[in-house]
Chain A
Amino acid sequence: MLTYIARRLLISIPTLIVISLVIFLLLNLAPNDPMAQVPLTVPPEVKEKMREALGLGQPLYIQFIKWVVQLFWVEPQVFIDYMFETNFSEGKQRVISWQTRSPVMDIVVQRMPQTLWVVGMSYIVGILIAIPIGIYSAYKQYSVFDQVGTFVTMIGYSVPPFFTGVFVIVIFSVQLGWLPSIYDTTHVVVDWDTFKTQLKQMVMPVMVLALQTTAMINRFMRATMLDNLNQDYVRTARAKGLSEWTIVMIHVLRNSMIPVITVIALNVPAIFGGAIITEQVFKVNGIGHQLIGAIYANDLPTVQTITFMFAFLIVAFNLIADIIYGILDPRIRYD
């Protein structure tokens, strides 16, 4: 098992390096001038100095190495300093946003909780809805419940979040006026009333994202349950006279959960991607909102850093999924 994990870890390091190179090159080789927004009245020598201050004077490979060092070496040090009140990172150059002139990571840390709240909550809600529905639709295959469930899954698959989001805003905010259409991130929960307000503003973004999660996981859950329900061991269990509940909820469910858990882990990054759009619809100032803002403002360091963080999430969760699979299914551990 250890060699298996070690091997997977070793593969992911070059992947991350190549991905960071791809992201870096895409942004830096593009025919696009980050100084284009500077007024024409600024003299050329001042422009040249500004260019150097942004780190654009050096050759490309030095820029890349600097960025990698800042991201992988300095930023973790800042994090350690923050956690243990040491001072490793003192005087070291961090990744600076062109937009705000402050370290990118500081803004990311400010924005992250909102994204994690909305995305994390929607993921949990989606899983909690999808699994029971998946189990029951597989158990009663082709029943009315199954047909309706499949249809709802298809809708969750097909209707994009920018329409479901806007649609629920039209119904619940504009027509009925029950829920606020804009997520207020400055809201602090102190008592029951503020908790209710928080709940109200979270319902719509969470449900919109949860619909996507539900669709994906329900479809998978149903398929693996169906595969397992037709296996010989189920017939054996029935022949032994076990109750249906024990057969389905213990024998079949436990075997079906192996691939489903992997899919759950694999799709965490995808749901962060979906959050970019949902955050835009509900004006949640999370990390996706920051990315869009940085793209509009041509703020390359922020765009690079956030894009790389998404890539890191994908690689990390691929690794986690592989490890979980290895732990849960002994057949996978080929060491």
Chain B
Amino acid sequence: MTEVVENKTSNRSKLKDVWDQFKSHKGALLGGFIFFSIVIIVMIGPFFWPFEANGIDIRSRNQGPSLLHPFGTDQLGRDTLARMMAGGRTSIAVGLAAMALSLFFGSFIGVTAGFYKRLDGILMRFTDLFLSLPLLPLLLVMMLLFREPLSQAYGPEKGMFVLIVVSIGITSWMPTARIVRADVLALKEREFVLAARSSGTSDTMIILRHIMPNVLSPIMVSATLGIANGIITESALSFLGLGFPPDFPTWGRLLNDAVDYLQQYPERVFWPGLAISLTVLSINYLGDGLRDALDPRMRKR
């Protein structure tokens, strides 16, 4: 009897285990579904939608929801749904790019600190220092200071994109670095690393082949939280008027524009706000599910 059970478990791959655990988390499943739907709508929607995000039609301005304009139009007659999709593209692109950058910094510093004992002290002091910086004020200051030169160098939209992604990336890698370092410290003492070392593998190869695949799960969980953080930070900056230029829609920018018309058209704040909240909520649920699924202690239950 026991043999049969053992046989069954050994045949199951790790990936299937993870998927099974992930499936049992209903919120995560729904969150993942909603997030990927939003991404797909935002990515391919503009190809099918007849209106341009910046197509001004002054005669049909300030319209309420109708069949032609399901979300209405703004003060210049631009279709809100088209602007929402264009804004979503930017917001999600910023979130993904900032996440990738912050993961890169975070895992690089985390792995280096965990693997090389000599660098551990100084890198962790560096991380602590970054954690003690007031991030939102510093982000605002960076927006203020580097906006002009970068706009001149890369054009207003691309320059702002680079600036926002880089600023979010270099201010959000610290939690990832700490988690990765802790995992690497434990992994380094394991037998397979010793075996690799005794067979003459170089440090770089040990890190790439043996350490990195094993710290992938905390990195993946940080990745989901990183996207959420990127989207929220970008929206906050745009909301404060220090993000993308006014004619370039992002969800935060649209929310900011809608606030000016709060008295006349209060429903306008609803769509961008809902889009930000729904995206972040679904990503957070996805991250929660991933954390449960990738944590072997949770999977045993």
Contacts and interface: CB of A to CB of B under 8 A. Distances in A.
Interface in A20-34: 22-23, 26-27, 30-32
Given A26-B141, A159-B277, A163-B273, A32 B240 contact: no
B262 A166 contact: yes
Interface residues of B, number: 44
A160 B242 contact: no
Given A291-B140, A311-B133, A314-B134, A166 B255 contact: yes
Interface stretch (B44-52, B79-87, B110-118, B143-151): B143-151
Given A15-B132, A170-B262, A170-B269, A26 B137 contact: no
Contacts of A307: 134, 137-138, 141
B280 interface: yes
A31 B284 contact: no
A295 B240 CA distance: 11
A300 to B, nearest CB: 9
Nearest to B232: A160
Interface in B217-274: 228, 232, 235-236, 239-242, 252, 255, 258-259, 262-263, 266-267, 269-270, 273
Given A19-B132, A30-B146, A276-B137, A158 B281 contact: yes
A154 B281 contact: yes
Contact of B135 (A18, A273, A280): A273
Interface residues of A, number: 45
Nearest to A275: B136
A73 interface: no
A224 interface: no
B285 to A, nearest CB: 7
A162 interface: yes
Nearest to B275: A163
Given A158-B284, A160-B236, A298 B133 contact: no
Contact of B134 (A31, A159, A292, A310): A310
B135 to A, nearest CB: 7
A160 B256 CA distance: 13
A167 B132 contact: no
Given A19-B129, A167-B273, A162 B262 contact: no
A314 B134 CA distance: 7
Contacts of B267: 170
Nearest to A175: B266
Given A158-B284, A280-B240, A314-B132, A170 B235 contact: no
A174 interface: yes
A318 interface: yes
A311 B134 contact: yes
B133 A160 contact: no
Instruction: Tell me whether chain B's interface is mostly helix, strand or loop, or mixed.
Output: helix
A154 B284 contact: yes
Contacts of A19: 129, 132-133
Given A19-B129, A167-B269, A295-B144, A277 B135 contact: no
A314 B235 CA distance: 24
Contacts, number: 126
B145 A273 contact: no
B258 to A, nearest CB: 8
B128 interface: yes
Given A162-B239, A295-B144, A314-B132, A23 B266 contact: no
Contacts of B277: 155, 158-160, 163
Contacts of A163: 255, 269, 273, 276-277
Contacts of A22: 129, 133
B145 A23 contact: no
A161 to B, nearest CB: 8
Given A15-B128, A26-B142, A166-B255, A273 B134 contact: yes
A277 B144 contact: no
Interface string A281-316: 100000000011001101000010011001101110
Contacts of A181: 262
B30 to A, nearest CB: 12
A67 B32 CA distance: 50
B150 to A, nearest CB: 9
Interface string A92-123: 00000000000000000000000000000000
B201 to A, nearest CB: 37
Given A154-B281, A158-B228, A159-B277, A277 B137 contact: no
B70 to A, nearest CB: 20
Given A15-B129, A167-B269, A303-B141, A277 B239 contact: yes
Interface of A: 15, 18-19, 22-23, 26-27, 30-32, 154-155, 157-160, 162-163, 166-167, 169-170, 174-175, 181, 269, 273, 276-277, 280-281, 291-292, 295-296, 298, 303, 306-307, 310-311, 313-315, 318
7 contacts: A15-B132, A19-B133, A163-B255, A175-B266, A295-B140, A314-B133, A318-B132
The 9 closest A-B pairs by CB, nearest first: A310-B134, A30-B145, A163-B273, A158-B281, A158-B280, A170-B266, A159-B277, A273-B136, A307-B137
Interface of B: 128-129, 132-138, 140-142, 144-146, 148-149, 228, 232, 235-236, 239-242, 252, 255, 258-259, 262-263, 266-267, 269-270, 273, 276-277, 280-281, 283-285, 288
